[in-house]
Structure 1
């Protein structure tokens, strides 16, 4: 996805959007937007990752990147998949950094949809398998993602 999407998009850009794609002013507009989106994506990943690192490993025997307890504090008290925001923003951020109209309008939305479906399908299944009824109760109380201003401010804030 990281190489194929941009390559295919640039190919179509040079065929159908050549004037726009080769316009430096267009890139001066899309580049800062892409960098901003990338910054938000990494902040979301940091917020979710740090909370998991603080609260998700109670036993010393648990491998470094895994959890042994259900985390429902911090950003996880607002949404079940905060890092999904970061993953979902990355294709659009890359598309804007490259300044590819095809990537921005077609490929990035498809990649974002793919990421969302994969995370919600496989991660939800794993969490239910690992934490059972506790996760089911948590899932009833807390949405998978939250678009409320307070949630997004907490997710994207510099303090994590």
Structure 2
């Protein structure tokens, strides 16, 4: 069994274990997520210092740009978490909702909470004037998140939720709602031109 399969099974076992076990695993999963994000932030500041990178925005421009970005990111993350709590679940993969959440931001994107975290990282990088956090580590965090979602979390969701999740996945974009709309428009345009 590959490491990927072991991780999928670990997430599946955690998500389908007893309520008590899931409750115990939730803070552990949350802790590791926040440590992971925190390491990206700390390493980015170290890279800025080691490479002596200049600050790319100055006061008050950095504040004027970052505050709306931080507000949107925080709102999206909290709104997403609220929809998980409403169905007695958490965003931690070891204690997810027992049913597929397709309300609120989840009606438009499969991972709106992570989208909020990405936006928060961009806003934080802008606020703190960090070139590496804004332009290197946030995109790297997004890339690693996509790889983890595709390799582990989505296969676990398919295994646990079955056909309902597959249909949801097919009709709902991963992060950005209008990306799916553009691809549908492309299909419509292709069909139109192929007929004419």
Q: TM-score if structure 1 supplies the norm length? A: 0.70
In the alignment, which of 26, 49, 67 is matched to residue 10 of structure 1? 49
| 1:1-160 map, 5 Å | 1-12=40-51, 14=52, 16-17=53-54, 21=55, 26-55=58-87, 57=89, 65-148=95-178
Deviation at 1:105, TM superposition (A): 2.7
Rg larger for: 2
Deviation at 1:49, TM superposition (A): 1.0
Greater length-normalized contact order (CA 8 Å, ≥ 6 residues apart): 1
Once residues 148 and 64 of structure 2 are traced to their aligned partners in structure 1, the CA distance between those partners, rounded to angstroms, is: 29
Superposition RMSD in Å: 2.5
Deviation at 1:52, TM superposition (A): 1.5
Deviation at 1:144, TM superposition (A): 1.8
Partners of 1:70 and 1:135 within 8 A in 2: yes
Partners of 1:89 and 1:112 within 8 A in 2: no
- When residues 104 and 127 of structure 1 are mapped into structure 2, their CA distance, relative to the original with a 3 A threshold, is same
Gapped regions of structure 2 (runs ≥ 5) = 1-39, 179-196
- When residues 27 and 110 of structure 1 are mapped into structure 2, their CA distance, relative to the original with a 3 A threshold, is farther
Once residues 168 and 132 of structure 2 are traced to their aligned partners in structure 1, the CA distance between those partners, rounded to angstroms, is: 39
Once residues 77 and 86 of structure 2 are traced to their aligned partners in structure 1, the CA distance between those partners, rounded to angstroms, is: 14
Q: Alignment length, in residue pairs?
A: 135
Once residues 86 and 134 of structure 1 are traced to their aligned partners in structure 2, the CA distance between those partners, rounded to angstroms, is: 25
Match of 2:11 in 1: none
Q: TM-score if structure 2 supplies the norm length? A: 0.59
